[in-house]
A and B are shown apart, each in its own frame.
Chain A
Amino acid sequence: MKALHQVAYGDPAEVVKLVDLPDPEPGPGEVVVRMEAAAVHLADIKRFTGERGFVGGNLPRIPGYEGVGRIVKTGTGVNEFKTGDRVFPWWGAGTFAELVRAPVEKMLPAPEGDAVQLSLMLVNGMTSVILLEDFVPLGKGDWLIQNGANSNCGRYLIKLAAEQGVKTCNIIRRPEVADTLKGLGAAAIVFDSEDEGELAKRVKDATGGAELKLGIDMIAGPASNRLAHCLSPGGLLVNYGYMSGKPIEIHFNELFQKDIKVVGMSTGRGMAKRSMDEIRRIYDKLATMIAHGDLNAAIAGTYTLDRAADAFRQAVMTGSDRDGKVILLPNG
C-alpha cells in the first residue's frame, strides 16, 4: 500500500515521503480500514516541522490524526464491526495511508454521506463541543463571542451554539465571509479592528450591548487582548489556538478592571473528563449532523497522497489563500 512517512522534522515537502509498505494485517481486536478521506490539520504541519509541544514519538511514522474509511479486513474477536462498515478510526491512527490498521476498541461507526466532510469530525467537532460546553454555562438567548469565526471550529461552533439557542458574535477579518456565517446561524458579525475600543464599540452595536461572558480566542497575539476588551465583567477568555503564531497577549488592566480570567483549552483534556459513552454520544450527534449537511466545512482543496506536498503547502496558507480545510484522499 501507499502511505506517507514522516522521516524527520523539518519542511514537510522534504521530511514527508510517499512510500510503499506491505499491506497491514489486522491483529486480534483490530481491523484494517481503507481510507476514503483524511483531514490535514495545522497540528499535522506542526508535528512535521517539530514545533515546540508537537515533538515526540518515534520516526518514521505515518501521520494523520483522523479520517473516514471502510473496513476491508477484520481480526479475530471483532464482533462490533464487519467488512464494508464505514468507520472513524480513533484519534492518531495514522490516516495518511491507503490502509490503516486500528483497534476497534474506540472505533466509531460512520454514517453514509460526504466522506470529505466526515473526515473533519473527530478533531474540530469535539473541540467545538468542548468550547461550548465546558467553560461558561450558556442558556437560550445568551451570547458568546469568538474570533477566527470563519475557521472550521468557528463555523461548527456557530451552528452548534445556534442549535441550542445560544447567540454568537463573530469577529471576522474578511467581509466576504459574512454572508456565509450568517447563513450558518451567526447572530452577529463584526469586522475586526486593530483598535480595541473601536472593536468593542462594533461588538456593542452588533449585539445590542448584550452580556458577553465567554470569549473564544483562536488567534492569540494582540487579538486575545482585543477580545478580552469586548467581554463583560467577570467574563472568561478561552484560548484554543494561535493562528497569529504569537503568544497570548493580555494586559493586566484588561483583567483586573473587569475581573476577567484567561484559560487555555485542550481537546484531549476535555475528552479525558468524559466517559467513553458520553464521547460516543457526542460523536454520534456530530456524525449525524455532518452527514445531513447541518455541519458543513469549507473545503480548500482535496489531494491524493502523491500530491501531499501541495496539500501541506496549502494547509499553511491563511485568509483567502486557503478558504477552508485541506483534505487528503488516500485512495484517490
Chain B
Amino acid sequence: MKVLRQIAHGDADTGLQLTEEPDPVPGPGDIVVALEVAPVQILEVWNLHGPLRFPAKSLPRVPGSEGAGRVTAVGDGVTRFKAGDRVFTPKFTGTFREKMTCPADAAFHAPDGAPADQLAIISTMGLTAILLLEDYVPLPPGSWLIHDGANSSVGRFVTGMARKKGWRTVNVVRRAGLDNEIKALGGDVVLVDPGEADAFADMVKKATGGAEIAIALDMIGGALAGRMAHALKEHGTLVLYGGTGGEPAKIDFIDMGRRDLTVVGMGMSRSFNRRTPDQKDAVWAQLGAWVEDGTLQTRIAGKYRLEDYKAAYAHAAVPSRERNGKVIFEF
C-alpha cells in the first residue's frame, strides 16, 4: 500500500516522500481501515513547513489529521465493527495512507449512503459545530443565535444544524454576496460586519425584528467578538471557539457588567470527552444522518490522488477565500 511520510520540515519536494509498504495487520482490539478520503487542511501545510508555525513535533511521521474509510479487517475481540463498515478514523493518527490500523474504540461509525468527499472534515469541523450547538445553545425552538465566520466550514455546518434544530440564525460574514448561498443552507439573516459595535447591534436588531439573542458563537476573536457580545441580550453567553484572527476577544466592560454576559471557550476534545460512549456514538449517528440528508455540505475545492500530494499541498496552501473549499485526497 502507498503511504505518505513526512521525513523533514520543508516543502513538499524535500519534506514528503511516497513509499510502498506492506498492508497493516490488526492487533487485538484494532481495526484496519482502507481510507476513502482524507482532507489536506492548512494545519498539514504548517506541519510540513515548520518550524515557524505548528511544525510537526517528531519525524518521520505519516501526516493526515482525519479521514474516513471502510473496515477491511478486525483484530481479536473487536465487536464494535465488522469488515465493510464505514468509519471515521481517530484524529491525528496519520490518514495519508491507503490503509491504517487504529483501536476500534477510538473510531466511530460513518454513514453508508454519503459520498466519501462529504465525510472528509466531519470528524473535526462537523464535530466542533455539533458540540457547540449541543453544549452551549440550550435554546427553545424558534430562538435566535448569532455566529460569525458563517461562511467557514464550521460556520456553514452551524447554520445547517441550527435550522434542523429549529433555531434561527444571524450569520455574520465579512463580504457581501453570500446571502443566497447561506440562506440556502438554512440561514435566516446574513449580515456583513460593519466594523462598529452600535451599527452592528442596530443591524442585528433590524434584521431580526428586535429578537433577543442569548448565544453568540465567535470563531474569530478581536473586536468582532466584542461586537457579537454587544448584540447579545442580558445574561447572554459568548462562546469563543476558534480565535482564528489571532487577536484576543475584546469585550466592552459595560456589556460584560451591566448586562451580565458570560464568556466561555469551547474545546472540541473536552466537550466530546465529557460524554459517555453511548452519547459519543449518538453524536456521530446524528452527524452521519445530517451528512446523508444534505444538512452538512462540504465545499470541495480539489480532489487529489495520494500520488499527487505535491499538487494537493500546493492547493491547500492557497488562501481560503481564493480556494473556496477543501482540498482532499480520495483513495
Contacts and interface: CB of A to CB of B under 8 A. Distances in A.
A314 to B, nearest CB: 23
B248 A225 contact: yes
B261 A264 contact: yes
A256 B219 CA distance: 12
A252 B256 CA distance: 17
Nearest to A224: B248
A266 B259 CA distance: 9
Contacts of B255: 264
Interface stretch (A143-151, A202-210, A243-251): A243-251
Nearest to A269: B260
A263 B265 contact: no
A257 interface: yes
A249 B223 CA distance: 9
Contact of B243 (A241, A252, A266): A252
A255 B240 contact: yes
Given A239-B256, A253-B243, A247 B250 contact: yes
Interface size class of A (residues with CB under 8 A): 20 to 34
A252 B241 contact: yes
Contact of B248 (A53, A239, A249): A249
Contacts of A265: 257
Contact of B267 (A251, A259, A261, A269): A259
A240 interface: yes
B240 A242 contact: no
Interface residues of B, number: 28
A246 B226 CA distance: 12
Contacts of B249: 249-252
B219 to A, nearest CB: 8
A261 B250 contact: no
Interface string B262-305: 11111100100000000000000000000000000000000000
Contacts of B267: 256-257, 259
Given A53-B254, A225-B248, A247-B252, A252 B265 contact: yes
Given A252-B221, A263-B262, A241 B253 contact: yes
B161 interface: no
A256 B251 contact: no
Contact of A248 (B243, B251, B264, B265): B251
Nearest to B221: A252
Nearest to A255: B265
Nearest to A266: B257
Given A254-B265, A264-B260, A247 B251 contact: yes
B258 interface: yes
Interface of B: 221, 223, 226, 240-243, 248-267, 270
6 contacts: A220-B253, A249-B249, A251-B249, A257-B267, A259-B265, A264-B260
